[in-house]
Amino acid sequence: MTAGAAGGAPEPPNAVFDAVVLAGGAARRLGGADKPGLRVGGRALVDRVLDACAGARTTVVVGEARATVRPVLVTRESPSGSGPLAALAAGLHALPRPAADHVVVLSADLPFLGRDTVRRLLRALGDGAEAAVLTDPGGRDQPLVAAYRAAPLRAALAGIARAHDGTCANLPLRLLTERLVLDRIRDPAAASASFDCDTWEDLAAARARIREHGHVLDEWITAVKAELGIDLDVDTALLLDLARDAAHGVARPAAPLTTFLVGYAAGLSRDAGPEAIAEATRKAVALAARWAEEAAEPAGPTTPAQDAPGDGPDARPDAR
């Protein structure tokens, strides 16, 4: 089913939600490799997905227990390897009660999924839909890149199980989407969000993409923040301008050292957030400007000196 006209107020972007991340599967096209643990941009695929749904109140990962960048609950479908529909049912069952009214459901192999896409999926639930599903560039629904209203989702899974001898094992995901009112999200800007790594070729393409000129800086900054456990917005342009000014006006090694000191100073402030970084950066930028101006100024006065009495051009050294 497809949602009709809007039937309610849009959900706020900070709506409370839980998340279920499906990290199982045999990965046959990858030769049985641990797909969620494969790295793109230095980070495991599952960690990249967990970052995208970092706003979740509770996150359940359905698959093997593993170290992750965020605390999660772990469960398995029964029987193991019985498909994504059974895994989704197991993930919902593992959520603590009372559960949130909204559930984001994601596969663990989406290297380019971002928080903006997750927020858009959640907002789409405010238009009377029971599920907001991303569609890929080919127009195919992606029920594992989606947000669901929890009550209709649970009811649909229960109905499927009743119709199939009490189980959701080894059943196709289309049985779920056929039972729900969908809002299909077709967003060219978020097309890469549905890109998944099913083959070694997919993995190679993902690794190449993040190193392209238009992506590498953002990807690197995101990876560093994740590695250091920093969750704040950084004005990259401002810091790059500071690094440039320090390098040109002082010396090339001044660029990394200055940006380090700015971060250190911001960390020591009472409010160690984006505002503190911005304020420390502004101070360092002003200092770099003064430093450069000083280097360009002549050392002496900028106006001609007045002749002292007796020092004029007509004064004779031997005058008595």
pLDDT in tens, 52-111: 999 999 999 999 899 898 899 999 998 888 899 999 999 999 999 888 999 999 999 999
Query: According to the model, what pLDDT value does residue 146 have?
Result: 96
pLDDT of residue 120: 92
3-state secondary structure 58-116: CEEEEECCCCCCCCCEEECCCCCCCCHHHHHHHHHHHCCCCCCCEEEEEECCCCCCCHH
DSSP letter at 51 equals H
pLDDT value for 299: 59
Question: How, if at all, do strands 73-75 and 141-149 pair?
Answer: unpaired
Burial 165-185 (b: 16+ CB within 10 A, else e): eebbbebebebbbebbbbbbb
Distance of CA 207 to the CA centre of its chain: 16
Show the low-confidence residues of the chain (pLDDT under 50): 2-12, 308, 312-320
Supply the pLDDT for residue 13. 52
Residue 128 token pair: 């009377």
Contact 141, 135 (CB under 8 A): yes
pLDDT at 297: 66
What one-letter code names the amino acid at 55?
A: G
Residues contacting residue 143 through CB under 8 Å, at least 6 positions apart: 105, 131, 133, 173, 176, 177
